């Protein structure tokens, strides 16, 4: 784990005028080239940790694979991830150059929700389970050491942590837990997702693509994130902290 950090001398200033000189752990950036079906596809800015899970989740949330079984081979050597997909999955891919840590995507909410099946499930989870699960995000190892990561965890309805991940950006962290879930062949319809960042539409989209029925964050959703959840049947929870949470749509899933 030490190779994920840069040990840097810093100067800490206090409001009483004192200055402290010390060493701090700064999270490292890593640029991964994803080579898809023998063609250089995109450079992703990430943490060199759980890279296979990231690549799998990234391909899934970009619509480049339907399932883990669509991947014939996935090899990582240095800063290159080489992926070969089954023949029926090969074809045109979106034009990307560098995927920064924000990982944003343009979404046409009307066309997306019009062409997608609404999530209908009898999934229910206790509010206490949601709040306890969200608290686990702040205790993850890279965040605790550096304060420089976003975190994501897939939980069962009983609060069992199924897959956990950290990365520079919240999008990458969610891609990693989705990739880990695909590798484990999880039933995503029986899971809920906890994340550490805001919930705009492009973050709400990710659990929706897997038919995960509920996403919860310590932070706020945006109007587009709430609208997407509302139209698609996904429960959107924000500000889950301090012993309370806000449910913005489909509260029937929370006990």
List, for residues 224-248, the tens digit of each pLDDT value: 999 999 999 999 999 999 999 999 9
pLDDT at 138 over 70: yes
Here the CATH number for the domain that contains residue 141 is 3.40.140.10
* H helix and E strand count, the chain: 7, 13
What's the pLDDT tens digit per position in 182-208?
999 999 999 999 999 999 999 999 999
Residue 2's nearest CA partner among 43, 49, 45 is 49
Considering Cα of 143, then 77, then 104, then 110, what sign does the dihedral take? negative
Say if 69 falls within a structural domain. no
pLDDT tens-digit series, residues 164-183: 999 999 999 999 999 999 99
Residue 145 within any structural domain of the chain: yes
Mean pLDDT of 39-50: 93
Residue 154 lies in a domain: yes
pLDDT class for 107, splitting at 50, 70, 90?
A: low
Structure tokens at 16: 């009483």
Cα–Cα distance, 176 to 174 (Å, whole number): 5
Question: Quick one: DSSP state of residue 29?
Answer: P
226 in any annotated domain: yes
Residue 91 DSSP class: S
Whether 156 is covered by a domain: the verdict is: yes
Whether residue 149 lies inside any domain: the answer is yes
Based on the number of CB atoms within 10 Å of its own CB, is 169 exposed (0-12), middle (13-18) or buried (19 or more)?
buried
- pLDDT of 73 > 60? The answer is yes
Q: Which domain holds residue 204?
A: 127-253
| E strands, 64-201, in order | 71-77, 80-85, 98-99, 150-156, 161-167, 191-195
Angle at 55 between CA 121 and CA 163, to 5 degrees: 50
* Percentage of the residues of the chain whose pLDDT score is greater than 70: 90
Residue 85, pLDDT > 60, answer: yes
**Residue 100 confidence (pLDDT) above 80:** no
Residue 217 domain flag: yes
Residues 6+ apart with CB under 8 A from 87: none
Q: At what angle do helices 201-209 and 223-232 cross, to 10 degrees?
A: 30
Percent pLDDT > 90 in the chain is: 84
Compute CA distances 183 → 130, 154, 160, 180, whole Å: 24, 13, 18, 5
DSSP H or E run through 53? helix 51-61
53's CB contacts (< 8 A; 6+ apart) are 163, 165, 175, 176, 177, 179, 180, 183
* Residue 150 forms part of a structural domain: yes
Number of domains within the chain: 1
**What is the pTM (predicted TM-score) of this model?**
0.90
């Amino acid at each position: 784990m030490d190779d994920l950090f840069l040990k840097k001398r810093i100067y800490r200033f206090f409001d009483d005028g004192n200055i402290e000189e010390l060493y701090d752990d700064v999270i490292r950036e890593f640029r991964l080239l994803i080579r898809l079906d023998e063609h250089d596809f995109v450079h992703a800015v990430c943490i060199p940790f759980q890279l296979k899970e990231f690549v799998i989740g990234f391909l899934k949330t970009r619509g480049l694979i339907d399932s883990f079984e669509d991947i014939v081979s996935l090899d990582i050597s240095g800063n290159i991830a080489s992926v070969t997909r089954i023949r029926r999955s090969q074809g045109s891919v979106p034009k990307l150059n560098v995927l920064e840590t924000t990982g944003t995507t343009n979404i046409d909410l009307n066309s997306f929700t019009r062409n997608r099946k609404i999530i209908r499930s009898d999934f229910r989870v206790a509010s206490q389970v949601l709040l306890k699960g969200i608290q686990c995000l702040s205790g993850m190892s890279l965040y605790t050491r550096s304060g420089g990561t976003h975190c994501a965890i897939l939980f069962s309805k009983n609060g069992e942590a199924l897959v956990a991940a950290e990365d520079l950006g919240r999008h990458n962290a969610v891609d990693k837990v989705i990739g880990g879930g695909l590798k484990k062949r999880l039933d995503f319809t029986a899971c809920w997702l906890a994340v550490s960042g805001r919930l705009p539409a492009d973050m709400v989209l990710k659990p929706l693509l897997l038919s995960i029925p509920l996403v919860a964050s310590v932070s706020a959703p945006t109007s587009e994130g709430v609208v997407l959840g509302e139209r698609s049947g996904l429960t959107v929870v924000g500000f889950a902290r301090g012993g309370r949470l806000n449910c913005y749509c489909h509260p029937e899933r929370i006990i």
